[in-house]
Structure 1
């Protein structure tokens, strides 16, 4: 898989997690642990995107 394709996949996952996080935060029954897990997963993907972008240049 090329770096560009990998970046595109990661960006889609990041966007999906953003949507999932937004929905979870708007649910009154959302657990703090679940929200924290979503935030951690989103941050890991963001870090991976940034790492790939810096190595691609």
Structure 2
């Protein structure tokens, strides 16, 4: 038990936890940002594909 008591009171452990929380928040934000960009990109490429199909149909 002495090890855990030292760890809980340690400034280094608190700093490591804080860095871990900051990294977790950055990671979660990045996941949401990538998801938002992926949705917009998917919509864009679907539109490009539809317009290309229509253009080829008009020229046939």
TM-score by length of 2: 0.45
Higher helix share: 2
Structure with more contact order per residue of length (Cα contacts < 8 Å, sep ≥ 6): 1
